[in-house]
Amino acid sequence: MKRLWLLGCTLLSACSLGGLDMQESWNFEPHVLDPHTFKNTWQYMQDRNRPGQDSVFNDMLQAIAYAGIDSSVYTQQGRTYILLHRDAVLRLDKKKVTPDCYWGKYLVPDRDAAGNIIPGKFRAARSWQEYRPEQVKAWLLYLIVQGEYTFSNIGPENETVQTLLPPQADTANPTSIMTLRLTNDRNSTIKLNDFLNSTTVTNVRTGGILNTNGPAHVVDRVVEFRTKP
């Protein structure tokens, strides 16, 4: 008898089971978010820097200003831009600065109440001003890749690319290169500097943002080229 009732439900426009109406069929239309922003990288960062609302790139914009980099650098064509989520600059875990953000990785000398350096004592930075502008500028230039690289042309094998960091500026990376690859799984994560003996592999948090002057990828951890001894 139950089988006959279920069969009847398939023939009728609506039935109820236990007092609940059966769900009517509907056509599912998949929708893929458009990665195009229709603005250049500089405009994109500015639009994502609204105090009290959305200030995800505020720390990066402060670094750019402190380092003295002209904003036109972020409007030029034919480049790939690695953008810094605020967690890449300062990330807290249980109110402690983590060692995988810039201010937690590159410690600065601690000072006493009079402003004098305490020998042998270091702490996490509290502002960009505690670093030399040249150091901040070098890191920001390293995060700009020559050429356009995104999901359409990054594969599972490492792609070695050149950055805007001048050669020999970093003794640990004298050729100023970066590697990019795509994980061969359903997540398709872009990984930066994921090579043999790398000490710092960075996963892209949000990849494939297509700005009018080139793709951008957002990271929330430090990006650097270092190898194990």
User: The domain spanning residue 144 has which CATH number?
Assistant: 2.30.180.10
Q: Between residues 20 and 120, which one has the greater pLDDT?
A: 120
Structure confidence at residue 8 (pLDDT): 42
The letter for the amino acid at 220 is D
HSE (CB half, 13 Å, CA atoms) of 207? 20
Q: Domain limits at 166?
A: 41-90+131-219
52 within domain boundaries = yes
Look at phi and psi of residue 176 and say left if phi exceeds 0, alpha if psi is from -120 to 50, else beta: left
Mean pLDDT across the stretch 12-32? Answer: 50
Average pLDDT, the chain: 89
- Residue 90 sits at φ, ψ, to 5 deg, of -140, 115
Residue 45 belongs to a domain:
yes
Does residue 203 lie within any of the structural domains? Answer: yes
- The tally of domains found in the chain comes to 1
What is the percentage of the chain residues whose pLDDT exceeds 90? Answer: 79
Query: Does the residue 104 lie in any domain?
Result: no
Res 147 pLDDT > 70? yes
Instruction: Evaluate if residue 149 carries a pLDDT over 90.
Output: yes
pLDDT in tens, 179-225: 999 999 988 999 999 999 999 999 999 999 999 999 999 999 999 99
Please report whether residue 105 resides in a domain.
no
102 domain residue, yes or no: no
Is position 175 within any domain?
A: yes
Model confidence band, residue 55 (pLDDT cutoffs 50, 70, 90): confident
Q: For residue 42, what pLDDT is reported?
A: 98
